[in-house]
Amino acid sequence: MLPIEPPPSRFQMPSPLRASPEGLLAAGGDLEPGTILAAYRRGIFPWPDGSGRVLWWSPDPRAILPLDGFHQSRSLKRLRRRGHLTVTADRACPDVIRACGERAEGTWITDQMYDAYVRLHALGWVHSIEVWEDANLVGGVYGVAIGGFYAAESMFHRVNDASKVAVAALVERLAAHGFTLLDVQFQTEHLATLGVVETRRVTYLRHLRDATAVAATF
């Protein structure tokens, strides 16, 4: 099923090139589906502050995971070969989003953000990978897909390396379905071990324009 285009946003997104050195671009607005999609199409994403106020970001540099550059450690390969973990797609997307918001280290996924991304999932724009151990959801990742562009928003694990299993499955699915750009927003030491690299914002925006024009489906 093709995603359903929501009504357009009543807000005009500013140029991402106007963002601060840290990436902060604007504050306020709303989290209507049309607003969020307009932001992602311009290289912008929402990330609330501690009070829940919606802030809009476009960092420079931008972190991406090249679909041909994902690094699987030997231990991850062994874990996947064992076969005791089952991977699905879009079977429990709201549960994945909720689990990402319940991580012990804290999260930016407020109830408002949860509701917004569940709405986008219902419209066909947000997709997840789930990792199961028997009937238990033990890991996953979710994000926004527009054409051949996928913006990974968050991941979680309840058993060791289940989130890495989810990312591996996500990369394989995106590559098989014609996606060309996997955005992870910010670089971390952990993400670097998976093959994530940084690119200048102007380069990212060019890749984003090309990727969103690709006729790919999750």
Q: Is the pLDDT of residue 57 over 80?
A: yes
Q: What is the mean pLDDT of residues 11-21?
A: 94
pLDDT for the residue 1: 73
Range of the domain at 146: 63-212
pLDDT in tens, 62-96: 999 999 999 999 999 998 998 899 999 999 999 99
How many structural domains does the chain have? 2
pLDDT for the residue 181: 98
Residue 98 belongs to a domain: yes
For residue 103, name the pLDDT band (cuts at 50, 70, 90).
Answer: confident
Backbone angles phi, psi at 206, to 5 degrees: -70, -45
Is the domain of 67 the same as that of 144?
yes
| 173 within 8 A of 67, measured Cβ to Cβ | no
pLDDT for the residue 51: 82
Secondary structure letter of residue 1 according to DSSP: -
Is the domain of 34 the same as that of 129?
no
Q: Which of 38, 60, 82 is the last residue of a domain?
A: 60
Q: Is the pLDDT of residue 104 over 80?
A: no
Backbone angles phi, psi at 19, to 5 degrees: -65, 155
Is the domain of 43 the same as that of 141?
no
| 88 within 8 A of 129, measured Cβ to Cβ | yes
| CATH code, 32 | 3.30.70.3550
Is the domain of 68 the same as that of 154?
yes
Q: Three-state SS for 16?
A: helix
Q: Is the pLDDT of residue 123 over 70?
A: yes
Is the domain of 40 the same as that of 108?
no
CA separation for the pair 215, 127 (Å, rounded): 16
Q: Which of 26, 42, 60 is the last residue of a domain?
A: 60
Lowest model confidence (mean pLDDT) among 24-28, 44-48, 100-104, 197-201:
100-104
Q: Is the pTM for the entire model greater than 0.75?
A: yes
Q: Is the pLDDT of residue 105 over 90?
A: no
Please report the DSSP string for 87-138 in residue order: EEESSSHHHHHHHHTT-TT--S--HHHHHHHHHHHHHT-EEEEEEEETTEEE
Is the domain of 55 the same as that of 69?
no
Element (H, E) at 41: helix 33-41
Q: What is the mean pLDDT of residues 141-168?
A: 96
